[in-house]
Amino acid sequence: MNYPNVAKEDPAVYEILKREEAREREGIELIASENYVSRAVLEAMGSVLTNKYSEGYPGKRYYGGNEVIDEVENLAIRRAQELFGAEHVNVQPLSGSPANLAVYMALLQPGDKVLGFSLDQGGHLSHGHPLNFSGKLYTIAPYFVGKETETIDMDEVEAIALRERPRMILAGFSAYSRSFDWKRFRAIADKVGAYLFADIAHIAGLIAGKQLENPVPFCDVVSTTTHKTLRGPRGAMIMCKEQFASAIDKAVFPGVQGGPHEHIIAAKAVAYGEALRPEFQTYSAQVIANARALADALQKKGYRVVSGGTDNHLMLVDLFGSKEITGKEGEKALERTGISINKNMIPFDARKPMDPSGIRLGTPALTTRGCKESDMQTVADLMDDALAHRNDDAKLAEVRGRVREFALKFPVPGIEA
């Protein structure tokens, strides 16, 4: 992209933009929550719709001049409903945590009990961490993975639910590589009289692409970000049964937000339209195939993958247990070669969050660039070389050159040269 007006008006920002383009083109992106959007999504985000204030909802705005805005928001809603089979959709949430906050506000009172997946086992901050609004405002009863299987034991979840009697059960994750049993979560919620809330931020694209089971029919409310595997702009949305529509809408506005960002909502509409095409299903299937291929390649090199593999787009690797390399060391070494990952705690980690035992990897971004299973072997080779020579500057520079050579074979959609 050329950014001619930025180049003219603000050379400092222009130079930063071009350097980030180069970083994305020349590097290997393995952060599980990142992806590349299309040129069409980028253009919608940079559109004139950013100029318009539109507090309220279509047909019920607090400002005049929203007849065009109403059309684009309604279009995004209709496409989201078609993608997920949702009765009601709110496309206004600005990001995942504010969306989750709105769900809590709509369904609960401060102090109510929530059953949520523990952060150090694979959950998200907004699922009950004590430093997050969720842990500060609500009583959290966590559920965990089993020590031997490193997967969620639904019998144990049911036992905790029966003991704790939560008002809401939250099913979702940010670092868990196995599928969730939505039907069983529904049965448990019904048994204890709880709302069932699913956070599918990481796997929404794989659900829209018909590769993973859709939780929308089983849940009272479902939230998701619109980036990650869904490959849209940074933002979020909330889907729910019609009976919760009014409460959800009021919780979003005026509960936690003011004016929505309609240029981002337009970009969401574009991304939903892309996800409705048959080729998005092919993409989603390839994301999972690539993740499994990468996990297999790393395991053959002696790295322990948590739970033994993956059913989705991500995996956790026990770096310290495998190679006596901390997650922080691994992240820094890989970053020096142009490979982006994030350090991450593994279940029952004895190390601290800022220097944990593990790293988290994901394949959505590389798959968007056109990588296939055979390319995952190359990625594993590059990672292994970088980690094995993490204190060798000359070797890391050599690996960085190989990373660049590999990456440039796969154009980045949206910023092609």
The answer to whether residues 263 and 305 belong to one domain is no
Residue 253 belongs to domain with CATH number: 3.40.640.10
Q: Which of 73, 150, 164, 225 is catalytic?
A: 225
116 phi, psi to nearest 5 deg: -135, 155
The answer to whether residues 265 and 355 belong to one domain is no
- Pick the last residue of a domain from 216, 247, 275: 275
Any catalytic annotation for residue 55? yes
Residue 388 lies in a domain: yes
Q: What pLDDT is stored for residue 337 in this prediction?
A: 98
pTM > 0.85: yes or no: yes
Radius of gyration of the chain (CA): 22
- Pick the last residue of a domain from 275, 310, 336: 275
The answer to whether residues 266 and 295 belong to one domain is no
Q: Which of 61, 79, 178, 228 is catalytic?
A: 228
The answer to whether residues 263 and 300 belong to one domain is no
Nearest to 18 by CA among 31, 4, 29: 4
The answer to whether residues 349 and 211 belong to one domain is no
Q: Which of 55, 153, 213, 398 is catalytic?
A: 55
398 phi, psi to nearest 5 deg: -65, -40
Q: Which of 3, 14, 53, 62 is catalytic?
A: 53
Residue 412 lies in a domain: no
The answer to whether residues 227 and 327 belong to one domain is no
Any catalytic annotation for residue 199? yes
Sheet holding 221-225, edge to edge: 88-90, 236-240, 221-225, 195-199, 168-172, 113-117, 139-143
The answer to whether residues 129 and 239 belong to one domain is yes
Residue 307 belongs to domain with CATH number: 3.90.1150.10
The answer to whether residues 93 and 237 belong to one domain is yes
Residue 73 lies in a domain: yes
Question: Using an 8 Å Cβ cutoff, are 41 and 48 in contact?
Answer: no
Nearest to 56 by CA among 250, 233, 240: 250
Any catalytic annotation for residue 228? yes
> Domain range for residue 123?
43-275
- Pick the last residue of a domain from 227, 242, 275: 275
Residue 280 lies in a domain: no
The answer to whether residues 251 and 290 belong to one domain is no
Q: Which of 24, 73, 164, 199 is catalytic?
A: 199
Any catalytic annotation for residue 24? no
Any catalytic annotation for residue 53? yes
Residue 218 lies in a domain: yes
Residue 34 lies in a domain: no
Report, as ranges of residue numbers, the positions in the chain whose pLDDT lies below 50: 417
Q: Number of structural domains, the chain? A: 2
The answer to whether residues 251 and 297 belong to one domain is no
Residue 18 lies in a domain: no
The answer to whether residues 348 and 265 belong to one domain is no
The secondary structure of 91-144 as a DSSP string is ---SSHHHHHHHHHHHH--TT-EEEEE-GGGT--GGGT-TTSHHHHHSEEEEE-
Q: Which of 184, 234, 336, 351 is catalytic?
A: 234
Tens digit of pLDDT for each residue in 158-190?
A: 999 999 999 999 999 999 999 999 999 999 999
The answer to whether residues 369 and 254 belong to one domain is no
Residue 21 lies in a domain: no
